[in-house]
Amino acid sequence: MGVQPLLRKPNPDREVLIRYLAAYGRIGNNLNQVARQLNRKQGSEEFEVPISIVTQAIEEVREITHQLRRLIYHGSHKGWS
């Protein structure tokens, strides 16, 4: 058909960044689930972890994810496959 496929295999550097981004996404999802459970137990005797600690962890994961996405995006426009 004379048309190149839209998806090309990423080079090794970009592939690593994509894997890290996926891993951070899973971690962020797990932290979000923990935060929800802690919110449900807040005020009870079972509640032991300050919600601020969980919130801070989620924000740190979001920041790392944002930076990884930026690296992947900018790298893809600097000759990465």
pLDDT for the residue 6: 67
Q: How many CB atoms lie within 10 A of CB 61?
A: 19
Q: Which amino acid is at 40?
A: R
User: Quick one: which of 72, 71, 40, 34 has its CA closest to 56?
Assistant: 34
Report how far residue 28's alpha carbon sits from residue 62's, in angstroms, rounded to the nearest whole number: 7
**Rounded CA gap, 74 and 64, in Å?**
15
pLDDT at 67: 84
Q: Is 74 a residue whose pLDDT tops 60?
A: yes
Summarised one tens digit per residue, pLDDT across range 14-40 is 888 888 888 888 888 888 888 888 777
pTM, to two decimals: 0.55
